[in-house]
């Protein structure tokens, strides 16, 4: 009853149910939502709420500028106050933004950074989060601001493979900083499941062993925007093509060499078929053009010579003494 009047289902903000079904989430583009962390008294943070309310015009302008590139944009204070836009509900009862990975990483790093895939608390969809800390005038931490990007169509495996090869595999490969040790831990996200045992049941991330080819890929791709390498995948000679999305995250396509080696022959067959088709079309067009031009020439020549024939006929009549002829 207290919801904003513009609260309506959003086909972009779909929530995932336990049975795997997607349904539109109720969202407001006029108002953000506010949340106070568990254990925080509302009267203790009234000033912070009033202060963070001033962010509303900025949040609206950012979402207006980037459109659906953004899933959620939000900020959380050390005091436990949280604001998110577009406005929505559905937070778990024990939700505390200050203990979420995106908050802890930004707080620890002290700079803007992208995190590994994470399950959104209100929609259960997989997202990437970029977060950054902000500080008070005295240098102490005020809170963390963040943006979520939906990973709904990053792995367009079916569309790419239909244009190339059914044996193609696509991956998101990233390196995650371990929160306690600081060491990088490699993870993989793919649509095709390989039955890997070391898989996160919530995010679907696979953590490959130390001897995996993906470690060699990350080592080779370091400081490169894009490229390719020749390396077996599951014992099959393959080509690996990669492109950096942002630091420590790569989009990777793996195709068996046999598929790539057949490409020149397939392309030659395609051009041969295309050329034969074009030759048939050209021959038909030439025949039709000749018939058309011949018909035009026949009728236009009859029209042009008819007057000359009349003149010749008139002179013949004159020669026979018919002086009634007029030319």
Instruction: Note the pLDDT tens digit of each residue in 95-105.
Output: 999 999 999 99
Phi, psi (deg, nearest 5) at residue 275? -65, -45
Mean pLDDT of 3-10: 92
Mean pLDDT of 118-146: 92
Rg (CA), the chain: 36
Least confident of 45-49, 159-163, 164-168: 159-163
- Alpha helices by DSSP H, the chain: 46-52, 56-66, 101-109, 157-163, 213-221, 257-261, 263-319
Instruction: Note the pLDDT tens digit of each residue in 250-292.
Output: 888 888 888 777 666 667 777 777 888 888 888 888 898 898 8
Mean pLDDT of 51-72: 89
Q: How far apart are the first and last CA of the chain?
A: 101
The pLDDT score that the predictor gives to residue 157 is 47
Residue with tokens 């067959």: 269
CB 200 within 8 A of CB 186: no
pLDDT band of 327, cuts 50, 70, 90: confident
The pLDDT score that the predictor gives to residue 158 is 45
Give the count of beta carbons closer than 10 Å to the beta carbon of residue 4.
Answer: 14
Mean pLDDT of 116-123: 87
CB 186 within 8 A of CB 175: yes
């Amino acid at each position: 009853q207290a919801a904003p009047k513009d609260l309506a289902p959003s086909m972009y903000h779909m929530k995932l149910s336990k049975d795997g079904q997607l349904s539109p989430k109720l969202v407001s583009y006029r108002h953000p939502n506010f949340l106070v962390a568990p254990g925080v008294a509302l009267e203790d943070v009234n000033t912070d709420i009033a202060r963070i309310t001033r962010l509303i015009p900025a949040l609206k302008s950012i979402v207006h500028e980037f459109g659906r590139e953004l899933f959620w944009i939000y900020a959380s204070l050390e005091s436990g106050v949280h604001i998110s836009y577009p406005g929505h509900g559905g937070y778990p009862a024990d939700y505390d933004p200050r203990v979420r990975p995106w908050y802890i990483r930004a707080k620890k790093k002290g700079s803007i950074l992208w995190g590994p895939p994470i399950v959104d608390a209100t929609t259960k969809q997989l997202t990437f989060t970029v977060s950054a800390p902000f500080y008070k005038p005295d240098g102490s931490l005020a809170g963390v601001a963040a943006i979520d990007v939906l990973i709904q169509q990053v792995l367009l495996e079916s569309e790419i493979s239909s244009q190339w090869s059914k044996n193609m595999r696509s991956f998101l490969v990233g390196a995650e900083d371990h929160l306690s040790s600081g060491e990088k831990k490699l993870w993989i996200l793919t649509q095709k499941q390989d039955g890997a045992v070391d898989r996160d049941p919530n995010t679907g991330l696979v953590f490959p062993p130390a001897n995996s080819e993906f470690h060699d890929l990350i080592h080779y791709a370091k400081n490169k925007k894009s490229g390719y390498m020749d390396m077996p995948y599951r014992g099959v000679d393959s080509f690996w093509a990669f492109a950096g999305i942002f630091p420590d995250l790569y989009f990777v396509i793996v195709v068996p060499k046999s598929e790539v080696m057949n490409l020149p022959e397939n392309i030659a067959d395609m051009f041969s078929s295309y050329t034969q088709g074009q030759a048939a079309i050209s021959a038909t067009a030439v025949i039709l053009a000749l018939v058309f031009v011949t018909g035009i020439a026949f009728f236009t020549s009859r029209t042009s010579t008819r007057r000359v024939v009349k003149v010749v006929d008139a002179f013949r009549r004159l020669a026979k003494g018919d002086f009634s002829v007029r030319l």
